[in-house]
Amino acid sequence: MDVEQNIKNLVIARLEVLSENIGISIGSLGNFSKEELICHVRNGDEVGQKIIEVEMDFLRGLKQGNFYGKENPSGDAA
Amino acid sequence: MVKKTLLATRPNFELTTKYISSWASKALEYAQEKEVVIFDLEKEKANRLTLETTLQEYSPEFVFLNGHGDYDKVCGQDNECLISANNNENILSGRTVYALSCRSAEILGKTAVAKGALAYIGYTEDFIFLYDEQQKQSPLQDKIAQLFLGPSNQVVLSLINGLSAQEASQNSKEHFLANVKKTLTSEAPKEQKGIVRYLLWDRHHQACWEKKQ
């Protein structure tokens, strides 16, 4: 099994943990039920890729040991 | 004593805008209690002309934008573009802004500060929130959405209480973190299972840009 499929399986396993009544709003991408999200991840479309990105962001944070500390640097823009 | 002034845009035309506008009303209630003068551009009033006119006429110090967005813009009712980068972001000059909107901190936030905004707090990526399908008709009763939109409101509450933009953002992030911890305890209801990664996503992507002194 290739890496991409492994990642999809991991993300789907995490989504299956969500309660059946949960919906998710992803900005202008729309609102989705748990089952719809699982389909999007399987299809690997834009919504699916976004959910995969969230999961990978979370796992990278865990790996780097900055579960609580990692955040976007705030600062001067001008 | 000079009263603080706040302008809010609250489009409401589908589920996401219904949720964020409902929860924004909680922040406005708090502002009202603190005798802040509020300009509430709700639903159809969340349009570009009314926004620009109100900003020009009343010059509110705080601007609370709710709505869909992208890297370079924030939208209002029916996704009308209200403010976009390299277009009309100068209307935010001299003001402190919080945008509960996807991605807009990445480009618009930076150009707004470059063109005179005192600070811009927003999200560099999509703002994601979870909700209870059974509470869709009454967003303010939704305990799942509260885990996301409560910390978001902390930005506004903190600014009203006199904290700096950086402090307000930090305070909001601490509330996200408190909810992360809450959902990880064994007493957390089963509905909260698996949502930690989304809370951390929003926390991670909240950014605060300030004008150099």
Residue B98 pairs in a beta bridge with B64, B121
Confidence class of residue A21 from pLDDT cuts 50, 70 and 90?
very high
Beta strands in chain B (DSSP E): 5-10, 37-42, 62-66, 69-70, 73-75, 81-84, 96-100, 119-123, 128-132, 206-210
Which residue in the set A57, A75, A76 is minimally distant from B201, CB to CB?
A57
Q: Does B210 touch chain A (CB under 8 A)?
A: yes
Residue B129 pairs in a beta bridge with A25
* Binary contact (B210, A76; C-beta < 8 A): yes
pLDDT of residue A61: 84
pLDDT of residue B188: 84
* Binary contact (B132, A22; C-beta < 8 A): yes
pLDDT of residue B126: 97
Q: Does B73 touch chain A (CB under 8 A)?
A: no
pLDDT of residue A20: 92
Enter the tokens of residue B197.
């990664």
pLDDT of residue A72: 55
Distance CA B149, CA B176 (A): 9
Domain that holds residue B153: 5-210
pLDDT of residue B67: 97
User: For B13-71, what is each residue's pLDDT tens digit?
Assistant: 999 999 999 999 999 999 999 999 999 999 999 999 999 999 999 999 999 999 999 99
* Binary contact (B198, A54; C-beta < 8 A): yes
- Interface contacts A/B by beta carbons within 8 Å: 118
Q: Which residues of B touch A73 (CB under 8 A)?
A: 207
Confidence class of residue A71 from pLDDT cuts 50, 70 and 90?
low
Residue of B nearest to A55 (CA): B197
A window 24-63, beta carbon within 8 A of B: 24-29, 31, 33, 50, 54-55, 57-58, 61
Tally of domains within chain B = 1
pLDDT of residue B5: 98
Buried/exposed A14-38: b ≥16 CB within 10 Å, e otherwise: bbeebbeebbbbbbbbebbebeebb
Q: What is the three-class DSSP state of B103?
A: coil
Confidence class of residue A78 from pLDDT cuts 50, 70 and 90?
very low
* Binary contact (B69, A72; C-beta < 8 A): no
User: For A22-33, what is each residue's pLDDT tens digit?
Assistant: 999 998 899 999
Q: Find, among A59, A58, A26, A64, the residue nearest to A45 by Cα.
A: A26
pTM for the whole structure: 0.94
Identify whether the C-beta of residue B99 lies closer than 8 Å to the C-beta of residue B109. yes
CATH, residue B181: 3.40.50.1460
Identify whether the C-beta of residue B108 lies closer than 8 Å to the C-beta of residue B89. yes
* Binary contact (B180, A57; C-beta < 8 A): no
Q: What is the three-class DSSP state of B82?
A: strand
The letter for the amino acid at B191 is E
Distance CA B17, CA B191 (A): 23
- Stretches where chain B sits below pLDDT 70 are 213
pLDDT of residue A3: 83
Distance CA B98, CA B10 (A): 13
Distance CA B17, CA B30 (A): 20
Q: Find, among B160, B136, B131, B114, the residue nearest to B8 by Cα.
A: B160
